[in-house]
Amino acid sequence: MKHYFNPMSRAITTDWMLNELDAPHEQITIDFASNENNTAEFRKINPMGKLPALVDGDTVVTEVSAICAYLADKFPEKNLAPEVGSVERAAYYRYLFFACNTIEPAFALAACGLEHPDPVSAGWGDMPRVLATIEDMTPETDWALGEQFTAADVVFGGLLDFSITFKWLEPSPKVAAYVARIRQRPAYRATHSAFDAA
Ligand SMILES: N[C@@H](CCC(=O)N[C@@H](CS)C(=O)NCC(=O)O)C(=O)O
């Protein structure tokens, strides 16, 4: 597998996922400063010109949540995804999609001081609803799905962590405690040193 990566990008999350799985891969660092993400060669992999991207043989996966879900399913013996058809699997999907469909756009807009003029039509609604849902979905103890740590924690917990670091989110005590647990994971620590130093 080839992982297209830059340490100062969202590829830090997929790097963490690869590390949680101890998945053999080739790390290909893409330099934004020299526009390597916009070469014709890279655009063939991801027409968005964005990181991360994963190439597994003939399979191309882009988008943080999709890559993490793909990897969790590729290594079922590592137990980073609940069984297909289980009650937990439904919750798992909810964490993966809530992170990228709702938290990401809501926080990205808010970070620029913008609000969507029509929160009823905007899929992510408005900030009070997003924050209330984050609070509701954040586990009091352990992980998103209970005792089993999964890709849902990498994606949802990773995004909360990123949002706190970039001051997009002022965490409640429950969110702060969950992110503190996330930050203690060896695979997180092994993959976030450059990011933390920034
Ligand atoms: N929705 C994408 C977002 C990826 C993204 O925005 N990556 C940024 C770095 S954090 C990027 O590659 N930006 C370069 C560009 O847009 O030219 C995902 O989840 O993977």
Do residues 59 and 109 share a domain?
no
CATH number at residue 13: 3.40.30.10
Taking CA atoms only, the protein residue closest to ligand 1 atom 3 is 63
Model confidence at 198, pLDDT cuts 50, 70, 90, reads low
Do residues 140 and 63 share a domain?
no
* Residue 193, pLDDT score: 83
Q: Is the pLDDT of residue 63 over 70?
A: yes
| Domain stops at, among 20, 55, 78 | 78
Number of domains in the chain: 2
Do residues 48 and 133 share a domain?
no
33 inside domain: yes
pLDDT over 70, % of the chain: 97
Q: Is the pLDDT of residue 194 over 90?
A: no
Taking CA atoms only, the protein residue closest to ligand 1 atom 2 is 63
Mutate which of 13, 42, 48 for ligand 1 pocket (most atoms within 8 A of beta carbon): 48
47 inside domain: yes
Q: Which residues of 11-49 are buried (b: 16+ CB within 10 A; e: fewer)?
A: bbbbbbbbbbbebebeebebeeeeebbeeeebeebbeeb
Q: Look-up: residue for tokens 């969507």?
A: 116
Atom number in ligand 1 closest to CA 63? 20
Do residues 68 and 121 share a domain?
no
- Mean pLDDT calculated for residue range 140-157: 98
- Mean pLDDT calculated for residue range 165-172: 94
The alpha carbon of 185 and the centre of ligand 1 are apart by a number of angstroms equal to 24
196 inside domain: no
Strands (E), 106-166: none
Do residues 91 and 50 share a domain?
no
Tokens read off for 140? 């009091």
Determine the structural domain holding residue 159 and report its residue range: 87-185
Do residues 101 and 67 share a domain?
no
Do residues 97 and 71 share a domain?
no
Where residue 164 falls (left for φ over 0; alpha for ψ -120 to 50; beta otherwise) is alpha
- Mean pLDDT calculated for residue range 3-28: 97
Task: Find out whether 96 and 68 touch, Cβ atoms under 8 Å.
Answer: yes
194 inside domain: no
- Mean pLDDT calculated for residue range 97-122: 96
Do residues 61 and 128 share a domain?
no
Do residues 60 and 143 share a domain?
no
Pocket of ligand 1 (CB under 6 A): 9-10, 37, 49-52, 63-64, 100
Taking CA atoms only, the protein residue closest to ligand 1 atom 15 is 50
